[in-house]
Amino acid sequence: MSDNYLMRLYKRLQKFPMGDRIFSFVASRKAPYFATIKPKITKLEPGECHCFIKKRRSVENHIRTVHVIAICNGLEMAMGFMAEASIPKHLRWIPKGMTVDYTAKAGSDIRCEAILPDNHWQEGDLPVQVTAYDENDVVVVKGTINLWISAKKK
């Protein structure tokens, strides 16, 4: 599968200092709500994306941990970028739902990951596993984002 526009942009910007930050800033403008977590895409390849969220006051809850909705935003961004960078050209995707479990307090910076094993795309329902880790690699949120995959209209 040849690289699509998102993978080409990511690879092009990786050649520059702060390329991750530049890519994340530019790409998150596609869906402006993602900018609320000030994300940084740290890994993007077919079937996998990692999104970094820095723990700062604007993403904290009342107990000073990273709010789970901010984490869900990061998980959805990771899934969306993974999907957009990976899906075959003849298919399209749309999220249908998200199910998550809060497994530990998120008291540090967070790494959100979306992984589609073997980058396997098929029409119909497609569950994508998403996981958020703290700085000690403790799972703080895990879940599934269900996508609907269909053929593009000709």
| CATH assignment of the domain containing 83 | 3.10.129.10
Split at pLDDT 50, 70, 90, the class of 5 is confident
Please say whether the beta carbons of 84 and 6 come within 8 A.
yes
Mean pLDDT calculated for residue range 110-120: 95
pLDDT, position 34: 86
Mean pLDDT calculated for residue range 22-37: 84
Whether the predicted model's global pTM rises above the 0.95 cut: no
For the chain, the domain total comes to: 1
Give yes or no for residue 95 having a pLDDT over 70. Answer: yes
The amino acid at residue 6 is L
Mean pLDDT calculated for residue range 4-25: 89
Domain enclosing residue 135, as ranges? 5-151
Structure tokens, 122: 């098929």
Counting Cβ atoms within 10 Å, is residue 106 exposed (0-12), middle (13-18) or buried (19+)? buried
Split at pLDDT 50, 70, 90, the class of 71 is very high
Counting Cβ atoms within 10 Å, is residue 29 exposed (0-12), middle (13-18) or buried (19+)? exposed
Q: What is the mean pLDDT of the chain?
A: 93
Split at pLDDT 50, 70, 90, the class of 2 is low
Give yes or no for residue 142 having a pLDDT over 60. Answer: yes
Lowest model confidence (mean pLDDT) among 11-25, 51-65, 140-154: 11-25
What is the rounded distance in angstroms from the CA atom of residue 60 to the CA atom of residue 66? Answer: 4
Mean pLDDT calculated for residue range 22-38: 84
Residues 6+ apart with CB under 8 A from 48: 82, 113, 114, 115, 116, 119
pLDDT, position 114: 98
